[in-house]
Structure 1
Amino acid sequence: MTTHNKKLVIAVTALNAVDNPGPGVAVIRALREGLGKNIRIIGLSYESLEPGVYLHDLVDKTYQIPYPSAGAEALVERLQYIHGQEHIDVVIPNFDAELYNFIKVSAQLRIMGMHTFLPSGEQLDARDKINLSKLGKKHHLFVPEDKIITRVDDLKKAAEDLDYPLVVKGKYYEAFIAQSEEQARKYFYQLSAKWGLPVICQKFIKGTEINIAVLSDGEKAISIVPMRKLYITDKGKAWAGITIEDDDLLQLARNFVKATKWRGAFELEIMRDPDGKPYIMEVNPRFPAWIYLTAAAGQNQPVALVKMALGEKVDEFNEYQVGKMFIRYAWDHVTDVSEFQQLSAFGEL
Structure 2
Amino acid sequence: MSKPLFTIGVTGLNAIDSPGSGVGVIRAIRDSQDFEVRIIGLVYESLEPGIYMEGIADKSYMIPYPSAGRESLLKRLAYIHEKEQLDLLIPNFDAELYNFISLGPEFRKMNIRTFMPSLSKLESIDKLHLHEFGEKYGYKIPKTHFLSGPSQIEDIETDFDYPVVVKGKFYEAYIAHNAEQVTGFFHKLNAKWGLPVIIQEFIKGTEIDIAALGDGNGKTIGAIPMRKLYITDKGKAWSGIVIDDPSLLKLTRKFTRDSRWKGGFELEIMRTEKEELYIMEINPRFPAWIYTTAAAGQNLPASLVNLAMGLPVSSFRKYEVGTMFVRYAWDNITHIREFEKISNYGER
Cα deviation digits, residues 266-310 of structure 1 (max 9, x gap): 000001111111110000000000000000000000000000011
* In structure 2, distance between residues paired with 1:65 and 1:321: 37
> Is the 8 Å Cα contact of residues 145 and 203 (structure 1) preserved in structure 2?
yes
TM-score, normalised to structure 1, is 0.97
1:125 aligns with 2:107: no
CA distance in 2, matches of 1:36, 1:187: 47
2: CA distance between counterparts of 1:156 and 1:323?
Answer: 45
- Check whether the contact 1:11–1:88 (CA below 8 A) recurs between aligned residues: yes
Determine the structure 2 residue equivalent to 1:288. 287
- 1:48 is matched with 46
| Aligned residue number for residue 320 of structure 1 | 319
Please say if residues 14 and 44 of structure 1, whose CA atoms lie closer than 8 Å, have aligned partners that are also in contact.
yes
Which amino acid is 1:19 matched to? D
One-letter code aligned to 1:60: D
Answer with 280-289 or 77-86: which moved more: 77-86
Which residue of the partner structure matches residue 248 of structure 1?
A: 247
8 A contact 2:4–2:35 mirrored in 1: no
Contact 2:144-2:199 at 8 Å conserved across structures: yes
Matched, 1:39 2:37: yes
| 2:70 corresponds to | 72
Give the structure 2 partner of residue 298 of structure 1: 297
Which residue identity is paired with 1:285? P
Amino acid at match of 1:8: F
> Who is 2:196 aligned against?
198
Which residue of 85, 88, 103 corresponds with 2:86?
88
Letter matched to residue 255 of structure 1 = K
Contact 2:6 2:35 in 1 (8 A): no
Which secondary structure state, in structure 2, belongs to the residue aligned with residue 8 of structure 1?
strand
Query: Which amino acid letter does the alignment assign opposite residue 225 of structure 2?
Result: P
**What is the CA–CA distance in structure 1 between the aligned matches of 2:275 and 2:333, rounded to whole Å?**
46
Would the aligned equivalents of 1:9 and 1:89 in 2 still touch at CA under 8 Å?
yes
Question: 2:332, 2:20 → 1: CA distance?
Answer: 17
After the TM superposition, which parts of structure 1 deviate over 6 Å for at least 4 consecutive aligned residues?
A: none
Contact kept in structure 2, 1:159 and 1:166, CA below 8 Å: no
- Aligned to 2:298, the other structure's residue is in SS state coil
- Structure 2: distance between partners of 1:87 and 1:331: 34
Q: Deviations over 1:37-78 (max 9, x none)?
A: 831111000000100011132111000111111111111111
- Checking the alignment, whether the CA contact within 8 Å between 2:295 and 2:323 is kept in structure 1 is yes
**Distance in 2, Cα, partners of 1:154 & 1:340:** 46
Which secondary structure state, in structure 2, belongs to the residue aligned with residue 75 of structure 1? helix
Q: Provide the C-alpha distance between the structure 1 equivalents of 2:4 and 2:347, rounded to a whole number of angstroms.
A: 22
Contact 1:169 1:191 (8 Å CA) reproduced: yes
Question: 2:34 and 2:246 mapped to 1: Cα distance?
Answer: 32
Q: Is 1:158 the counterpart of 2:156 in the alignment?
A: yes
Q: Percent of aligned positions with the same letter in both sequences?
A: 55
**What are the Cα deviations for residues 80-134 of structure 1, in whole angstroms up to 9, with x where unaligned?**
1111111111110000000000000112112212111000100100111011111
Matches within 5 A, 1:106-121: 106-121=104-119
- Does structure 2 retain, via aligned residues, the 8 Å contact 1:35–1:303? no
Give the match's secondary structure for 1:162: coil
Paired residue type of 1:75: L
Q: TM-score, normalised by structure 2?
A: 0.97
Supply the distance in 2 between the matched residues of 1:184 and 1:91 (Cα, whole angstroms). Answer: 38
Correspondence for 1:222: 221
> Aligned residue pairs: how many?
347
Q: Following the alignment from structure 1 to structure 2, what is the Cα–Cα distance between the partners of residues 30 and 197?
A: 35
Could you tell me which amino acid in structure 2 is paired with residue 246 of structure 1?
D
Tell me if 1:99 matches 2:88: no
Distance between the aligned counterparts of 1:279 and 1:313, measured in 2?
Answer: 34
Quote the Cα distance in structure 2 between the aligned partners of 1:289 and 1:251.
23
Which range moves more in the overlay, 152-161 or 259-268? 152-161
| C-alpha RMSD of the superposition | 1.4
- How far is the alpha carbon of 1:345 from its aligned partner? 1.1
1:146 to 144, 152, 155: 144
Aligned to 1:180: 178
Query: Any conservation in 1 of the 2:140–2:277 contact (CA below 8 Å)?
Result: yes
| Matching residue's letter, 1:195 | W
Aligned to 1:237: 236
Q: What stretches of structure 1 of length at least 5 have no aligned partner? A: none
Is the contact made by 1:17 and 1:51 (CA closer than 8 Å) also made in structure 2? yes
- Offset from partner CA, 1:159-190 (integer Å, 9 cap, x none): 33111001000000000000111111000000
Question: What residue is the counterpart of 1:266 in the other structure?
Answer: 265
Structure 2 counterpart SS, 1:279: strand
